[in-house]
Amino acid sequence: MNIERKKKRGWRANLLWFADAAKKELSYLQDGLLITAEGADGVVRIEALGAYQEVRQKYCDVSVTHWPDRCIAPGFIDLHVHYSQTDVIASPAQGLLPWLEQYTFPHEKRFSEIDYASSVARYFLDELQRNGVTTALCFATSHVESVDALMQEAQARRLRMITGKVLQDRFSPDGLRDVDTAQSLQQTQSLIEKWHKKDRLGYAITPRFAPTSSERQLRGCGELAQQYPDVWVQSHAAENKDEIRWVKELYPKARSYIDVYDQVGLLRQRAIYAHCVHIDGEDRDRLADVGASIACSPTSNLFLGSGFFDFAGADEAGVKYGLASDVGGGTSFSPFVTMHAAYTVALQDAGRRSHSLSPHDLWWMHTAGAAQCLGLEGIVGNLLPGCEADFVVINPSATELLKRRTTQAESLEEWLFAMIVLGDDRLISRTVIQGDDYAKVGQAYWPEI
């Protein structure tokens, strides 16, 4: 046991967090102090936070790292991303289905090789951390090796990371398609037993989407979802109009795309469906009733021409949702770029109510709100005492324009908006995971602060 790790540590900077977990509103504190401590279970959590002068009195013998002019904020959560598509990013196509066929499926075949998968997993996790993303709900590929590769890398970095083997037993090329449906389900079960709840790792049952799974495979996933209620479920739904037509042909008895998943027992808490752009009120009510969530991926929906997510409709129905990059359909790993895109999309009047999302709303959707979708509220996505110690250190003066605009901000809202609209990976000076400053273990190109 590393004695050093047992120590409490202090982190002095400005603080940004959701002080009242019930409110989607950020609090900002100038010159704060955050105290972290390792628990008996080996997990480093936040023990206290508040004004530096006050908290320091209680923790006078704790060693403190001081970042003046920087702001500590919760690590971001990416609610839907494909690590296996890190190198598919920026591949243009005529919409979702041609994009899958021309770029994504051929590329994902490469993840049968564990060495290749591991090298991509390392790059991907570096990229998440460079962008301040500390937890992700992530698609692997249909290969068991692709799950092992990401889990091993995430475990070595002590990350809270969730992933799963993709299930796809039809309409997929050789080398990616599950050739034996029963085996694909057995592999899923073995991977759950191997990885779920190992350190901070979690497993997600991952049918790719309704068209590429036989009904038998989806039913098998539903049975596993019932057998393992605290395992996550992730898939895609109602992203693109051609895809929806195809699902109607394949599942003619289902009332809707969402109903396909409902009929096989895949709608429940801890089930997160990416996109849900083209769903109706009945679907929204059903998602809300069962406690399932939506991963809203605005850069992907814009890039692939999928459509505009209805934020007002989701709010009205009370469905939980959070933000996601959906790389490689999505075009950026940066939560700031995703929040900016969500703002732009919500404001469009595309035959539905346009909606001006506040910076508090946007930040919530990528941190504490995303944690709520995962059933991890109070664990990640905030800095309240008891939360795990994964946080980012923001430099609001990272670029000349950011510096110019943020220093002129006259309110917290203006300051947050400036970062959301003008920000990218350069805003993140440091990513601290479990009390380990990633700048020390990260890549050589990490910027000095």
Binding site for ligand GUN (CB under 6 A): 82, 96, 100, 104, 208-209, 236, 239, 300, 326, 329
Residue 80 CB, shortest distance to ligand GUN, in Å, is 9
What 8-state DSSP symbol labels residue 84? G
- When the beta carbons of 101 and 199 are compared against Zn ion, the nearer one is 101
108 binds Zn ion (CB under 5 A): no
Q: How far apart are CA 159 and CA 126, in angstroms?
A: 12
What 8-state DSSP symbol labels residue 388? B
First CA to last CA distance, the chain: 31
> Residue 405 binds which entry of Zn ion, ligand GUN, none, with Cβ cut-offs from 5 to 8 Å by kind?
none
| Kind plus residue range of the DSSP H or E element containing 96 | helix 96-99
Give the β-pairing of 293-296 and 271-275.
Answer: parallel
- When the beta carbons of 298 and 329 are compared against ligand GUN, the nearer one is 329
- When the beta carbons of 301 and 372 are compared against ligand GUN, the nearer one is 301
> Residue 213 binds which entry of Zn ion, ligand GUN, none, with Cβ cut-offs from 5 to 8 Å by kind?
none
Binders of Zn ion among 303-332, rule CB under 5 A? Answer: 326
- When the beta carbons of 140 and 368 are compared against ligand GUN, the nearer one is 140
CB proximity list for 240: less than 8 A, separation 6 or greater? 95, 96, 97, 277, 278, 304, 305, 306, 307
Residue 241 CB, shortest distance to ligand GUN, in Å, is 13
Residue 349 CB, shortest distance to ligand GUN, in Å, is 25
> Residue 104 binds which entry of ligand GUN, Zn ion, none, with Cβ cut-offs from 5 to 8 Å by kind?
ligand GUN
What stretches of 42-88 adopt beta strand conformation (E)? Answer: 44-51, 63-74, 76-82
- When the beta carbons of 209 and 311 are compared against ligand GUN, the nearer one is 209
Q: How far apart are CA 4 and CA 31, in angstroms?
A: 26
239 binds Zn ion (CB under 5 A): no
- When the beta carbons of 151 and 274 are compared against Zn ion, the nearer one is 274
What 8-state DSSP symbol labels residue 78? E
- Residue of minimal Cβ distance to ligand GUN: 329
> Residue 96 binds which entry of ligand GUN, Zn ion, none, with Cβ cut-offs from 5 to 8 Å by kind?
ligand GUN
Could you give the angle at the alpha carbon of 275 between the alpha carbons of 294 and 420, nearest 5°? Answer: 80
Contact by Cβ (8 Å): 325, 297:
yes
Contact by Cβ (8 Å): 48, 59:
yes
Residue 426 CB, shortest distance to ligand GUN, in Å, is 27
- When the beta carbons of 13 and 337 are compared against ligand GUN, the nearer one is 337
Most distant CA pair in the chain, distance: 67
Residue 98 CB, shortest distance to ligand GUN, in Å, is 12
Tally Cβ neighbours within 10 Å of residue 227.
11
Residue 359 CB, shortest distance to ligand GUN, in Å, is 26
Q: Which residues bind Zn ion (CB under 5 A)?
A: 274, 326
